[in-house]
């Protein structure tokens, strides 16, 4: 029983934890002011929040040259391939090592 929280389709289909598994608990812990507890639920959550924040700030402040420069570096094909590789590596590591 998951209550109001949605179930992870990836985990239901494969039995493995997806890269985002634990994110709901992590965000709840962050909202409760418990960053270390959030980190323990999903080690990739701080990087995800930072990435999404930069993209959101770029959307809100499109004229900021500093934010534009960071955004462009984070969204190059090489950066996106690196991000994809990191997500795949995280998924494999968390399932094989039990992280």
pLDDT at 80: 94
> Of 19, 38, 40, 20, which Cα lies nearest the Cα of 90?
19
pLDDT at 2: 54
- Non-local (6+) Cβ contacts of 91 within 8 A are 16, 17, 18, 19
> Which tokens sit at 4?
């109001």
In angstroms, the first-to-last Cα distance of the chain is 23
Is residue 98 over pLDDT 90? no
pLDDT at 3: 65
pLDDT at 77: 96
Query: 26 exposed, middle or buried (CB, 10 Å; 0-12, 13-18, 19+)?
Result: buried
């Amino acid at each position: 029983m998951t209550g109001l929280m949605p179930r992870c389709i990836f985990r239901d289909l494969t039995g493995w934890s997806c890269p985002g598994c634990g994110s709901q608990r992590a965000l709840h812990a962050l909202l409760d002011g418990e960053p270390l507890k959030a980190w323990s639920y999903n080690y990739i959550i701080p990087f995800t929040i930072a990435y999404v924040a930069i993209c959101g700030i770029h959307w809100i402040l499109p004229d900021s040259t500093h934010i534009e420069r960071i955004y462009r570096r984070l969204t190059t094909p090489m950066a996106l391939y690196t991000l994809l590789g990191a997500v795949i590596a995280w998924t494999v590591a968390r399932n094989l090592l039990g992280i």
